[in-house]
Structure 1
Amino acid sequence: MKNFEIYSNELKQRLSEGAKVVGKDEKVIRYDEFSAPNPFMTVFPRSENDVAETVKYCREKGLKCFAQSGGHNWRVRNHKIIDVVICMRTLNNVSIDENAQTVTLGGGTIIGELVEAVAAKKLEVATGVCNTVGVLGTLLHGGTGRYTGKYGLGIDNLFSINFVDATGKLHQNVNKTTDPELWWAICGAGASFGIVTTATIKAYPQLIDLSWSCTIIFSDPDASKIEKILEAVEKTNMDQNMSLLCSFACLPPTGLPSLLVNAWYYGSETEAEKAWERLLDPSLKPSVRTSAMLPSNKLNEANDPICIMGGRKPALGMGIERLESTAFLEVWDLWTEFTKNQGAEGSAILIERFPKEKTLTVSDDATVFPHSHRGITYEVVCFPIYKDETLDSKAQAFANSIRDIWVQKCGDPEQPRCYGACAGFNEPLENIFGSKDRVDKLIRIKKKWDPENYWSALFDIV
């Protein structure tokens, strides 16, 4: 058994004042506890050098460490062998250069903090849709969100990073000029190359003060109603000012299975209602429809209920081309059946749609994130959510069944596509990075920067 007192006392001597080291009883909870590490030690650094020293110490002692910012990524492949978690949340500083229109943020910054900081300066940035998710956790995998239609992916707005490699060396101001090959890999698979301690991203002037957000709920819809809603989504022409999140969820107070739609528009209520007229058609007869004009710091507020930490969530996601009604009716039936398991009532199916034209203006060879996925129409995720670990096998079988339906009926079965941040443990890397050639190049770069595959928690690619 590892002696926490010995290790923590030794490590503290190498860290800056204010850095904190805690034991197993004070480990940081993750969004998904299904594959969460169970470290005997958690470190809260106060500087980039603290991160570097912690990695060096772990390497000297033969310990496996893992960095956590928001703690939402469920794909922690080798969670059982992780000894030390470096909780980056203490490195959450945000610095804004209004003249240069750039934002420099610490590796522990979460999306809500970034949104608040830039909104205060009347700026906007490409970022994700859940406030409690780590900015860099989502950005390094691509980074989609409300502003994808306007500004493209998060990686396309990334200027430079500082990161700690597998030896504990801190590399500063890494960018597409300093090492083009490494930059190509970082932009889509960055978490496999080290711990990003600082990043600088592009900011844009805020053009409007308020955006429109509408929540539409269809309680206990029959098959015909589901088909009509999906058809309305399919036939809506998405412009750069739009984004859409749909979900299957059992909503309180009734607990009835419901189809929940959140439509967003960067513009006035009049413009929004015209853009979303198919979904707002009164003949669809929603159970609830509410809309509001939101200030930019409330951009992601509607998603807060789905971002609650804790519980077991062995989710699986894919990219699909179409909302095939027969497939989604099958998904609906499997989902409603799974929610009947005691404690699994909170399980959900998520459908995201963002305009992708802007993302495709970036050359296909600019990043490891391929054009084949940049242009995908929908991101879909199956979320089994429960607490009883005896449901693990059933939950995994359920999620795999949903994934197989999407692959076979809603896209190209010969070329499945999966967003890296939503991938399951066994998703082939070609499905994430687009082709064998891209994967081979990624592996070659990985071997150069991490020959022992120390950073194997997210992608085992050597």
Structure 2
Amino acid sequence: MGSITTPSSKRTVTSDDISTLKSLLSSTNATVLTPDNSAEYSASIARWSSAARKPAGVVVVPTTADEVAIVVKYASDQGIDLAVKGGGHSTAGVSSTDGGLLIDLNAKMRNVTVDTDKKLFFVQGGAAWGDVDQVGAQHKLATPGGTVADTGVGGLTLGGGYGWLSGQRGLVIDNWVEGTIVLASGEIKKVSPQSDPDLFWAIQGAGQNFGVVTEFVLKAYDQGDVFAGMLIYPPTPDVIEKVVAATNDLYTPNSEGRTKVAGRGAGGVAFGRPPPAEGKVMLMAVIIYFGTEQEAKELYKPLYEAGPVVDTTAMVPYPVTNTLLAPPIGLRASMKGTAYTMPIRAGFVEQVLAEYAKFTDGNDDTGVSLVLFEVYDPSQVVAHDAGSFANRGWHLNGMVCPMWTKEENDQQCRQWARDMTGLFKTELENQAKATGKGVDGGVGLRGKKGATMLYGNYDQYDEKSRDIFGENYPRLQHLKAQYDPGNVFNKLFAITPQA
């Protein structure tokens, strides 16, 4: 099963279910919403991408893990289709249900607190990364978490979790020390490497398959201001050549796995039509440097010498880094993941530019779409091995993000995303990277754990669960049979229980 899921075998909600849920929750602070509660219900089923919005049969807005447990147990016992909204940022629709039961953590379970002595964040399951960033900034602390502030903590963490700090600190799961999870049975468990280590291993990468995490405890690190911003260029062949050469020089690991940015630099190279360009296609270089302006200006000097026509770089508070690439909320969108390896070939970037320009020139509804090559130092991601996440490697993530407004363009835009990721795959093959054989018809190049070089938190339309989890899949199947034999949690890369 891929990230665009097949129809669930679970049933939809009836009026009797709604009455029963109201009775079960009558002595709690949870709220039960139906389509009749127009404003609150509409807010709960709203999504970052309007294409991911589905009409739930009923929404429960809990305030505690105990309330979540009541709802999960009922859905499990009754065979009801269940979805969980953390941040609502998934463009694949996996936090939504068509006629089933939706648990909306985002409405009232997004509190973030900090233990400054132990340097730990305590984050409720409905929080977004912007919530964590803002509370952390009050104490000059931060933790790896996403690249866009309105992404949910839950979905990102349960799927592994890349962020701008990954070059220094690894993935989010590498900094996750304890979680509180509600299982399909309704049991509430605290899990960590010391308590239920097998279950904790499973949810560090495949967590959406095992329960509802109502609290994350994450390591916090000292974090001051950051040098960050964007350089925008006309996408001429000469400029592309210079920007790509500079990016390769900074981010290509040497024979010892070291890069010039030494974990302190991150960002990306992108094509888009940013507001300052008045509708023109532009090349953008995103710079995020964890150091002084003087150091950054020296390190990134070739990018400045490439002739940007817009420069927004400056020393900024850390939370600003997760707003640099934040697209508008509420459009129809897909974030299709892909992968590439350093060094980038300038001719390939020109090919991507040509396809992006053709797509956006040919349809006025797609002008805010984006193609991004994410860059950072992957050495810390490779050095860690926590959890069931199987996609660690020296490759980097790319994102093809069509954005549009009209439903009739859904198929065309998603097909373009498929076509673009096909270009990336071909480029990997042309770089003489070994092509592994897909498992059960899966696609893509393989990493050391047999997983595709694709980040499961991005949309992957065609890949199967075995592709994403690689050699970890059999162990996950065994744990799934233990903790969720009825496959209550089945929305994203569902794992088939097997004893």
Instruction: Report the TM-score, using the length of structure 1 for normalisation.
Output: 0.91
Say if 1:124 and 1:314 are closer, same or farther in 2 by CA, change over 3 A: closer
Does the 8 Å contact 1:216/1:289 carry over to 2?
A: yes
- Residue 252 of structure 1 corresponds to 275
* 2:137 equivalent to 1:101: no
- Residue 137 of structure 2 corresponds to 119
Write the letter of the residue equivalent to 1:222.
Answer: T
How large is the RMSD of aligned CA atoms in angstroms? Answer: 2.2
- 196, 217, 230: which is aligned to 2:232? 217
Say if 1:5 and 1:80 are closer, same or farther in 2 by CA, change over 3 A: closer
* 2:91 equivalent to 1:74: yes
Q: Distance in 2 between matches of 1:86 and 1:123?
A: 30
Aligned residue runs from structure 1 range 59-458, under 5 A = 59-76=76-93, 81=98, 83-89=100-106, 90-171=108-189, 173-206=190-223, 209-219=224-234, 221-236=235-250, 237-252=260-275, 254-281=278-305, 284-304=306-326, 306=327, 308-322=328-342, 323-339=344-360, 340-363=362-385, 366-370=386-390, 373-410=391-428, 412=433, 413-414=435-436, 415=445, 416-433=452-469, 435=470, 437-458=471-492
Write the letter of the residue equivalent to 1:11.
Answer: L
Identical positions, percent:
26
Q: Distance in 2 between matches of 1:430 and 1:6?
A: 38
Q: Distance in 1 between matches of 2:52 and 2:324?
A: 27
Q: Distance in 2 between matches of 1:6 and 1:430?
A: 38
Does the 8 Å contact 1:327/1:410 carry over to 2?
A: no
Write the letter of the residue equivalent to 1:265.
Answer: Y
* 2:48 equivalent to 1:31: yes
| Structure 1 residue ranges (4+ consecutive) displaced by more than 4 angstroms after TM superposition | 1-6, 77-82
- Residue 14 of structure 1 corresponds to 24
Q: Distance in 2 between matches of 1:102 and 1:43?
A: 29
Say if 1:119 and 1:438 are closer, same or farther in 2 by CA, change over 3 A: same
Does the 8 Å contact 2:47/2:330 carry over to 1?
A: yes
Q: Distance in 2 between matches of 1:268 and 1:140?
A: 33
Determine helix, strand or coil for the equivalent of 1:399. helix
Shift in Å, 1:79: 5.4
CA deviation digits over 1:203-229, x for unaligned, max 9? Answer: 1233xx32111310113x123322332
261-270 or 309-318, which moves further after superposition? 309-318
Write the letter of the residue equivalent to 1:99.
Answer: D
Does the 8 Å contact 1:319/1:376 carry over to 2?
A: no
322-331 or 122-131, which moves further after superposition? 322-331
Shift in Å, 1:17: 4.0
Determine helix, strand or coil for the equivalent of 1:438. helix
Say if 1:33 and 1:214 are closer, same or farther in 2 by CA, change over 3 A: closer
Q: Distance in 2 between matches of 1:375 and 1:51?
A: 36
Shift in Å, 1:430: 4.6
Q: Distance in 2 between matches of 1:64 and 1:336?
A: 41
Shift in Å, 1:78: 9.4
Q: Which runs of 5+ in 1 are unaligned?
A: none
Does the 8 Å contact 2:47/2:53 carry over to 1?
A: yes
Write the letter of the residue equivalent to 2:332.
Answer: R
Does the 8 Å contact 2:83/2:95 carry over to 1?
A: no
- Residue 45 of structure 1 corresponds to 62
CA deviation digits over 1:5-48, x for unaligned, max 9? Answer: 65444323323543222223423311223343321222211111
Instruction: Report the TM-score, using the length of structure 2 for normalisation.
Output: 0.84
Shift in Å, 1:359: 2.1
Write the letter of the residue equivalent to 1:368.
Answer: S
Shift in Å, 1:377: 3.7
